[in-house]
């Protein structure tokens, strides 16, 4: 949704897939607080280090398998900076300047995390990697933690992430401080996905 079209009053939208209702405060509401770990969050270096260490432990406990990460951005240095926290946790990171091959591997289920932008092109095609991700089946899409980077985003903004169909949005200027919002978002996503898998398992057992 274009920011200019957001109404001033609070509003709600219904998800076309799960039929859940998500409420938003509207453009007139006061700005959301800065994302945890972003510049200006008011935390001391010591407290930030303790929180980051705790988040690392929790992510490892919830996601012991540590999957593969695809980073496909025009700026390879930005891609490496955004994925370094995951590499430190044991994830295997592929940094591609050209996301064409990565698009095929994403569809095959190779990657559990994808870091890209809305405009990263697939050579020889009008489609972007982001568009390719958006047209995955709901089941395949739920298996991928999607990080979108772009100057139009406010790092960790949940409303922007929801509208962009991403799990985390990052402004490149916050790349150096991305670890805490990234790990927080991954924890939330992993717990949600585990709950989804457990609910699906119970449903399938009851149907047999």
pLDDT value of position 50: 64
Residue 31 has pLDDT above 60, yes or no: no
Domain ranges of the chain: 31-207
Lowest mean pLDDT among 46-60, 122-136, 174-188: 46-60
Residue 82 has pLDDT above 90, yes or no: yes
Residue 102 has pLDDT above 80, yes or no: no
pLDDT value of position 154: 93
Q: What is the reported pTM?
A: 0.64
pLDDT value of position 124: 58
Domain 31-207 is of which CATH architecture? 3-Layer(aba) Sandwich (3.40)
Mean pLDDT value across residues 199-204: 72
Mean pLDDT value across residues 23-45: 53
- Bridge partners of 145, per DSSP, are 113
């Amino acid at each position: 949704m274009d920011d200019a079209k957001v109404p001033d009053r609070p509003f709600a939208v219904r998800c076309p897939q799960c039929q859940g209702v998500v409420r938003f405060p509207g453009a007139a509401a006061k700005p959301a607080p800065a994302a945890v770990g972003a510049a200006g969050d008011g935390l001391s270096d010591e407290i930030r280090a303790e929180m980051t260490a705790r988040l690392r432990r929790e992510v490892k406990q919830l996601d012991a398998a540590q999957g593969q990460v695809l980073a496909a951005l025009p700026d390879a240095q930005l891609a490496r900076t955004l994925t370094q926290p995951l590499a430190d946790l044991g994830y295997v990171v592929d940094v591609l300047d050209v996301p064409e091959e990565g698009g095929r591997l994403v569809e095959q289920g190779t990657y559990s995390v994808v870091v890209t932008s809305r405009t990263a092109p697939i050579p020889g095609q009008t489609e972007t990697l982001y568009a390719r991700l958006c047209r995955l089946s709901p089941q395949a899409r739920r298996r991928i933690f999607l990080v979108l980077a772009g100057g139009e985003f406010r790092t960790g903004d949940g409303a922007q992430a929801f509208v962009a169909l991403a799990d985390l949005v990052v402004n490149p200027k916050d790349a150096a401080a991305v670890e805490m919002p990234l790990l927080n978002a991954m924890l939330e996503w992993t717990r949600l996905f585990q709950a989804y898998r457990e609910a699906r398992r119970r449903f399938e057992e009851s149907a047999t």
